[in-house]
Structure 1
């Protein structure tokens, strides 16, 4: 028999939790502990993934990965990956119920202007008139020449199961991408038009034509035939998110940009004998799209030290109190660039800024939206614009290397 004096005392049980369990049980406290470490520790403020608040995830881009498309691009933003393929199909004007001869005649003026600009080599300095802008918008939007479609692949995230109906996120992202394509006027309608110029008969050809056909055609009428638009290219832009770990819009839109920059349309012309559009098989005769600029998005999430601040913001009295506290600087918040899936679940307020840069380096704000709260003020937005401008430089360098 062993006496009680000879039994070794049991080791005290640890009261701490491993970081993965702590992150699942107390996600807000876990992220707050990283962003506001004790002053005595002398540790910088960092997120749970080790990034600084204004630091984006490692980004990479590839183009031309899909072989059976006119253009393709893949963008990886941390663990979020989006693949985009662009497929072009012809839309004959005779199949458009609203098409008319007057539209074709008016478009001829734009074509002549575009040809003169190309010959002068000053396309970048040309400022489009209001009529040209309206005609460009009418063709792109009214004829639905750009058709984006986004899908979330099965297994891209735990919440997306096989056989489930399309999620609300899918529809929202598809609509947002379509709206951005229209508002930025990224694709030029001139790149999507297929022209046909009827032959202009000179005096000798006209006389010979009259003798052969036994017709009497005035020379002035024969020489005044305008060019006609016989068809449009319709671009079907298919985006698939194969891995979702937060911030899907930035990855999806940048994959669209990469794919459109890679898109080549074959040479197409109207064949009079067969009365149809023919396309050349030669890759050398294909042409790339001349896009307007390079709008780059930067998404942000706002994390607040008070976990209940987002819920109190919907109540008017408490919301007013929260605004007063924010003015005094008592509300502690962090604006996190490129939030991952873990941080998105803890951010009530979101912001997305899309910027572009002119040839002189001036930053242009293409779009700015904010929703979910009011802690981000004007000064914060100025800082976010500066961060977005630096992000544009990074993405421009990445995409130029594709």
Structure 2
């Protein structure tokens, strides 16, 4: 027995190190901080746990025309977050609109045409952007788009896209918030032109002889003055509108759903074709052409691209102290001014893991001229959840958003 005890293998000391997957679950904040703030002696760059640089976006792909039963559709994938968007166009008759007055609408359009004629301009699509830059904002277009609800977005997360969203569940607060953000951005950017959604009718210009033939039974008297005035064309009438139902479905959620959903909306609207429609005076209804070649695409205003960011702070309790201790924010600002290790990182296109470790979020929507050369125009800029992002940080985020615009334009043009 003594011999057996002497030849037995020595006991192995268990390792105290944790695998990276367990370390990430047990200490998520420390795990991400270890990646973003490596030891100075290692000479390693600041890198996120997913292998991206702080200002790097996930791989993005887009495919348009994926759904055959819609007027326009697109699938956009940003990393592991995937959004599907379908656009359906339905007709809204002006007879079904309460308090609709064709005469007032026609008078407004006539006044607009006379105003543009006096300025030597024509109300064409090519000149519309120049007129807007000159300060001619069409309040009637804005009223039609918003008051008549011609754009109806709806986003759904109850598809089993993530463990927290089970199929068949009622709309979550996040889904309703994203739907409202998309609607607000559609209206603020004025992406869809109201004239693309109007269905016009031009009344015929009946001369004196036509009126006499048309009213033989009534024996209407038409004098020379009426004949001279009849040479002027009658104003057009709006008989109906196209209503665009924009349905977005998140089929895979791995962080930052807004950027993916908005990119899917943009790609779907660029793919949308509106059938040719006209007012049939004999049947007093709207008729549509089945010929796809006669359908027309939407003439969108620009290409606003959304870029979202989150702020990761080295101090995990910084947000809590800012609420409980009144002077915590002032003390934090003084600490940041001192030379020392980096205290915050602004992460572009955060995934679900990073979103759970950050409280402050920022979102920028920017646009550029069609040729991509020119100043970056800020369409929307918002921040919530903290005070870490300052003016200098926003300047850097604008440059990053401009680079993201160039990348997204290339992707959307190829889909």
- The answer to which of 84-93 and 127-136 deviates more is 127-136
2:388 pairs with one of 375, 381, 386: 375
Distance 1:9 1:400 in 2: 66
Q: Secondary structure at the match of 1:148?
A: strand
- Does the alignment pair 1:35 with 2:48? no
SS at match of 1:127: helix
CA RMSD of aligned residues (A): 2.1
Matched, 1:141 2:146: yes
Residue aligning to 2:312: 303
> Which residue number corresponds to residue 26 of structure 1?
27
> Aligned residue for 2:54?
53
Write the distance in 2 (CA, Å) between the matches of 1:179 and 1:336.
Answer: 25
Matched, 1:266 2:275: yes
Counting only pairs closer than 5 Å after superposition, residues 109-188 of structure 1 correspond to structure 2 as 109-110=111-112, 116-118=122-124, 122-127=127-132, 132-188=137-193
1:22-76 deviation line (CA, Å, top 9, x unaligned): 1101000110111111222222111001000000000001110010101011110
* CA shift for structure 1 position 208: 3.5
Give SS of 1:66's match.
coil
Is 369-378 or 353-362 further displaced after alignment? 353-362
What residue ranges of structure 2 are gaps of 5+ in the alignment? none
Which residue of 304, 311, 320 corresponds with 2:330? 320
- Which residue is equivalent to 1:105? 107
2:296 matched to 1:287? yes
Residue number in structure 2 paired with 1:335: 346
Please list the CA deviations of residues 345-384 of structure 1 after superposition, one character each: whole Å capped at 9, or x if unmatched. Answer: 0111111111001245221011111111111111111000
2:197 equivalent to 1:192: yes
Range that drifts further, 10-19 or 191-200: 10-19
Asked if the contact 1:246/1:340 (under 8 Å) is kept, the reply is yes
Residue of 355, 362, 368 corresponding to 1:344: 355
Q: Which blocks of at least 5 consecutive residues in structure 1 are unaligned?
A: none
- 1:204-283 equivalences under 5 Å are 204-211=209-216, 214-217=219-222, 218-219=226-227, 222=230, 223=232, 225-283=234-292
> Equivalent residue of 1:395, what SS?
helix
* 3-state secondary structure, aligned to 2:105: helix
> 2:377: which partner in 1?
364
Aligned mates of 1:92, 1:174 — CA distance in 2:
26
Contact 1:105/1:228 (CA < 8 Å) preserved in 2?
A: no
Give the conservation status (yes or no) of the 8 Å contact 1:37–1:44: yes
CA contact (8 A) 2:212 2:219 kept: no
| 2: CA distance, partners of 1:111 / 1:192 | 19
Q: Secondary structure at the match of 1:231?
A: strand
Q: Report if aligned partners of 2:113, 2:123 keep a CA contact under 8 Å in 1.
A: no
Maintained 8 Å contact 1:350/1:371: yes
Return the offset for 1:248: 0.4
Secondary structure at the aligned position of 2:131 is classed as coil
Q: Would you say the 8 A contact 2:212–2:220 is kept in 1? A: no
Aligned pair count? Answer: 401
Kindly indicate whether the alpha-carbon contact (under 8 Å) linking 1:91 and 1:232 is maintained by their aligned counterparts in 2. Answer: yes
- Per the alignment, residue 83 of structure 2 pairs with 82
Tell me, yes or no, if the aligned pair for 1:354 and 1:368 is still in contact at 8 Å.
yes
SS at match of 1:334: strand
- TM-score by structure 2 length? 0.91
How far, CA to CA, are the matches of 2:356 and 2:208 in structure 1? 76
- Contact kept, 8 Å, 1:206 with 1:219, in 2: the verdict is no
Tell me, in whole angstroms, the C-alpha distance in 2 between the residues paired with 1:259 and 1:110.
Answer: 31
**Structure 1 residues 62 and 180: alpha-carbon distance in aligned structure 2, compared to 1, 3 A threshold:** same
Q: Secondary structure at the match of 1:175?
A: helix
In the aligned structure 2, how far is the partner of 1:323 from the partner of 1:79? 36
* Shift of residue 123, structure 1, vs aligned partner: 4.5
Native 8 Å contact 2:84 2:249 kept in 1? yes
Residues 186-244 of structure 1 show CA distances to partners (whole Å, capped at 9, x for unaligned) of 11100000000000023443444344663235335655532100000000000000000
